[in-house]
């Protein structure tokens, strides 16, 4: 006889665990199933765990603003103290460079004004004074190192930037996921690891459970796909992909890990930087190091992966390109002969904005396409998904009458149609990790 639960959550990354936590608090008997050995072992573990409030859309800013307050008082939100330790938020502030591509941040600033997010506009002279380790020359558009014009400034100075003081990162993304698992378990949530889903079972036009690779069957009238880079595989198992206007794919990414310039304590004096002028983002890292990732400039070819269980884990010339581009901005940045960093996958939608939605298959829900930028939003996403499921199972047709999600901290109602699988591609997206 099959085991029975109220809801099965496929995936135990940060969003899967937050969804379990919120549903379990509502009285659902939940089971998270993950093919890896522990919570947060997938792409969550390799997240840069950046907490920031600037997004290319007003809805993106709203969700980030709401989530920020949960990270500020993490232990209060969870209601438990994890014996393994508690992840913590480290505030640095974020410098966001203005470019023509990001419309000189006009939309971002309007959205932050609307949400009451504090920021400071800086011209190039102020940036030079505040951050003497930065080269303020303009290099836009970003180029590859093999371009003959690489490293040649295209202007004496960037237009300017905004500085958002309420920005930082979480000390340990994997630990933060374990924290949520611990909190969920206090409400009765269960977790099953080293278990691969091979079938989504249906009965009378509705999901009724899953089958695992070892033949084990588990029943539930609700299944939630939170499988990260494997999300498209789970959607195909459920047969729901054809009913989606926006779909997901796995994208290979590299993050470089390099020492800070000699003579600078980057852990004290550094900041998060989102730099569309050179096509990179960066943040301080422990040990006086810097993490550097790509903002997907036009000069970089996107490396889509067909099999998320089989892709190249070797650091490549992408690593070199990112570090060399960052060296245009951070003076005297070392470029080590030995590459250090990580390779992992993003779960990316067609417009780099996630899907938090129901599907055409009753009982099957999706929190997918998180595109490398949704770690920060996990607490609110968990709440949204629990609210969506509760409303839909009570008879609301979200496709016709979109569910409105009440945000406790910003005291706003959020229209969840923004994250619909049926939406048209959002032209206001950055079409990058910026979201």
Q: Rounded to 5 degrees, what are φ and ψ at 179? A: -55, -45
For position 45, what pLDDT does the model report? 94
Q: Based on the number of CB atoms within 10 Å of its own CB, is 62 exposed (0-12), middle (13-18) or buried (19 or more)? A: buried
Q: CA nearest 217: which of 230, 240, 199, 239?
A: 199
Q: Classify residue 401 by its DSSP letter.
A: S
Q: Write down the pLDDT at residue 56.
A: 85
Q: How many CB atoms lie within 10 A of CB 36?
A: 16
Quote the CA–CA distance of 208 and 322 in Å, as a whole number. 46
Q: What is the DSSP string of 173-238?
A: HHHHHHHHHHHHHTTT-EEE-S--EEEEEEETTEEEEEEETTS-EEE-S-EEE--GGGHHHHHHHH
**What is the structure's pLDDT at 435?**
83
Coil, helix or strand at residue 345: strand
CA dist 58 and 61 (Å) reads 5
Widest CA span of the chain, in angstroms?
72
How long is the chain? Answer: 435
Tell me which of 3.40.50.1370, 3.40.220.10, 3.30.9.10, 3.90.580.10 is the CATH number of domain 94-165+250-346. 3.30.9.10
Residue 2: predicted pLDDT: 64
Q: Which residues pair with 164 in a beta bridge?
A: 94
- Is the Cα dihedral 69, 73, 76, 77 positive or negative? positive
- Radius of gyration of the chain from Cα atoms? 21
HEC states along 42-99?
Answer: CHHHHCCCEECCCCCCHHHHHHHHHHHHHHHCHHHHHCCCCCCCCCCEEECCEEEECC
Q: Which helix (H) or strand (E) holds 434?
A: none
pLDDT tens string, the chain, 435 residues long: the values are 569 999 999 999 999 999 999 999 999 999 999 999 999 999 999 999 999 999 988 899 999 999 999 999 999 999 999 999 999 999 999 999 999 999 999 999 999 999 999 999 999 999 999 999 999 999 999 999 999 999 999 999 999 999 999 999 999 999 999 999 999 999 999 999 999 999 999 999 999 999 999 999 999 999 999 999 999 999 999 999 999 999 999 999 999 999 999 999 999 999 999 999 999 999 999 999 999 999 999 999 999 999 999 999 999 999 999 999 999 999 999 999 999 999 999 999 999 999 999 999 999 999 999 998 999 999 999 999 999 999 999 999 999 999 999 999 999 999 999 999 999 999 989 999 888
- Where does CATH 3.30.9.10 sit in the chain? 94-165+250-346
- The per-residue pLDDT for 57 is 86
**What pLDDT was estimated at residue 182?**
98
One DSSP character per residue, 313-332 reads: -S--HHHHHHHHHHHHHBTT
Structure tokens at 230: 């494997």
CA 133 to chain centroid, in Å, comes to: 29
CATH 3.50.50.60: which residues of the chain? 3-85+172-247+351-419
In the block, tokens 């499921």 appear at 389
As a CATH number, domain 3-85+172-247+351-419 is 3.50.50.60
Can you read off the two tokens belonging to residue 380? Answer: 């609110």
């Amino acid at each position: 006889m099959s085991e029975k639960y109220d809801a099965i959550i496929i995936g135990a990354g940060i969003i899967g665990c937050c969804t379990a936590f919120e549903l379990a608090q509502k009285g659902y008997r939940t089971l998270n199933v993950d093919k890896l050995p522990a919570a947060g072992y997938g792409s969550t573990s390799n997240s840069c765990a950046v907490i920031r409030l600037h997004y290319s859309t007003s809805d993106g800013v709203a969700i980030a603003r709401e989530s920020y307050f949960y990270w500020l008082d993490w232990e209060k939100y969870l209601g438990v103290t994890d014996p393994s330790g508690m992840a913590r938020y480290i505030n640095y502030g974020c410098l966001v460079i203005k470019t023509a591509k990001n419309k000189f941040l006009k939309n971002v600033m309007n959205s932050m004004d609307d949400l009451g997010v504090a920021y400071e506009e800086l011209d190039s002279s102020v940036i030079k004074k505040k951050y003497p380790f930065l080269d303020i020359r303009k290099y836009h558009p970003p180029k590859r190192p093999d371009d003959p014009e690489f490293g040649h400034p295209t202007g004496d100075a960037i237009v300017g930037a905004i500085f958002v003081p309420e920005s930082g990162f979480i000390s340990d993304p994997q630990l933060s996921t374990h924290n949520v698992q611990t909190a969920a378990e206090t409400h009765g949530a269960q977790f099953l690891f080293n278990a691969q889903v091979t079938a989504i079972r249906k009965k009378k036009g509705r999901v009724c459970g899953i089958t695992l690779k070892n033949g084990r069957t588990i029943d539930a009238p609700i299944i939630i796909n939170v499988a990260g880079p494997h999300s498209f595989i789970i959607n195909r198992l459920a047969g729901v992909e054809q009913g989606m206007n926006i779909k997901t794919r796995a994208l290979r990414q590299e993050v470089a890990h390099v020492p800070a310039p000699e003579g600078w304590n980057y852990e004290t004096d550094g900041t998060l930087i989102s730099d569309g002028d050179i096509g990179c983002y960066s943040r301080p890292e422990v040990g006086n190091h810097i993490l550097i990732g790509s903002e997907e400039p036009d000069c970089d070819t996107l490396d889509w992966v067909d099999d998320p269980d089989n892709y190249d884990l070797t650091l490549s010339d992408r690593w070199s390109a990112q570090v060399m581009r960052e060296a245009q901005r951070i003076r005297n940045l070392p470029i080590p002969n030995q590459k250090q960093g990580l390779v992992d996958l993003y779960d990316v939608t067609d417009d780099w904005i996630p899907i938090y939605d129901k599907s055409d298959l009753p009982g099957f829900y999706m929190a997918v396409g998180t595109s490398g930028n949704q770690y920060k939003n996990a607490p609110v996403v968990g709440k949204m998904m629990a609210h969506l499921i509760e409303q839909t199972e009570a008879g609301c047709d979200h496709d016709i009458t979109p569910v409105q999600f009440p945000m406790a901290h910003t005291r706003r109602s959020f229209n969840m149609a923004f994250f619909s699988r049926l939406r048209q591609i959002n032209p206001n997206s950055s079409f990058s990790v910026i979201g």
